[in-house]
Amino acid sequence: MAFQVPNRVPVFNSAQREIEDGYWRAATTNSHFAKQSGLQLTERIGNFITPSRELPMYKDKPYYQSRGRHPGGRKRKKALWVAICVGFLVGLWWFLGGRSGHAGIVRPIEMKGGELWKWIQEFEKGVVAGKGKSNMINWEERKQRVKDAFLVSWEGYEQDAWGKDVYQPLARTGTNMVEGGMGWIIVDTLDTLMLMNLTTQVQNARKWIQTSLHYQQDQNVNTFETTIRMLGGLLSAHYISKTYPDLAPLQEDDDGAPGDDLYIEKATGLAERLLGAFDSPSGIPFASLNLNSSQGIPSHTDNGASSTAEAGSLQLEFKYLAKLTGEAHYWEKVEKVMQIIDGNQMRDGLLPIFIMADTGKFMGENIRLGSRGDSYYEYLIKQFLQTSGEEPIYENMWNQALAGIRKHLIAYTKHASLTFVGERPSGLDESLVPKMDHLVCFLPGTIALGATGGLSLSKARKSPGWNRQKEDEIILAKELVKTCWATYLATETGLAPEIAYFEVDKPPRMMDDVFGGPKGEPENGKGKEETGKAKNEGIHIVSKPLEPLDDKDSAWRKDVIIKPADRHNLQRPEAVESLFYLYRITEDEMYREWGWEMFKSFIKHTAVIEEEGINNQDHDGSPEPPASNDNGQSSSSYIRAFTSLSNADTIPPGKIDNMESFWLAETLKYFYLLFSDKDFIPLTETVFNTEAHIFPRFKMGKLFKTGWKRKTEWKGE
Distances (CA, A) of 310 to 8, 238, 284: 14, 24, 10
CA distance 127 to 370: 38
Which member of 188, 261, 374, 577 is catalytic?
374
577 is catalytic: no
Q: Which are the contacts of 672, defined by CB distance < 8 A and separation ≥ 6?
A: 143, 146, 147, 150, 192, 195, 196
374 is catalytic: yes
CA distance 644 to 166: 13
What is the strand order of the sheet 306-307 is part of? 306-307, 354-355, 362-363
225 is catalytic: yes
110 is catalytic: no
Torsion over CA: 588, 590, 593, 595 (sign): negative
Pick the closest to residue 232 from 224, 242, 244 (CA basis): 224
Which member of 342, 574, 660, 691 is catalytic?
574
Distances (CA, A) of 419 to 376, 469, 502: 22, 18, 10
How many CB atoms within 10 Å of residue 470? 19
> Any known ligand binding at 690?
yes
Q: Which are the contacts of 168, defined by CB distance < 8 A and separation ≥ 6?
A: 161, 174, 175, 657, 658, 659
Which member of 253, 498, 657, 666 is catalytic?
498
The secondary structure element, H or E, covering residue 468 is helix 468-489
CA distance 617 to 626: 10
One-letter identity of residue 461:
R
CA distance 569 to 22: 42
How many CB atoms within 10 Å of residue 288? 25
Kindly tell me the number of DSSP H helices and DSSP E strands found in the chain: 27, 21
CA distance 596 to 592: 6
CA distance 360 to 652: 48
Q: Which are the contacts of 525, defined by CB distance < 8 A and separation ≥ 6?
A: none
Distances (CA, A) of 473 to 460, 477, 482, 514, 595: 13, 6, 14, 16, 22
Query: Using an 8 Å Cβ cutoff, are 279 and 226 in contact?
Result: no
CA distance 373 to 423: 11
Query: Using an 8 Å Cβ cutoff, are 546 and 482 in contact?
Result: yes
Mapping DSSP to helix (H, G, I), strand (E, B) and coil, where does residue 454 land?
Answer: coil
Which member of 110, 148, 165, 225 is catalytic?
225
Strands 614-615 and 295-297: unpaired
Q: What is the CA radius of gyration of the chain?
A: 25
CA end-to-end distance (rounded Å), the chain: 30
Strands 499-502 and 435-437: antiparallel
Residue stretches of the annotated binding site for Ca(2+): 690
What is the set of active-site residues?
225, 374, 498, 574
Residue stretches of the annotated binding site: 690
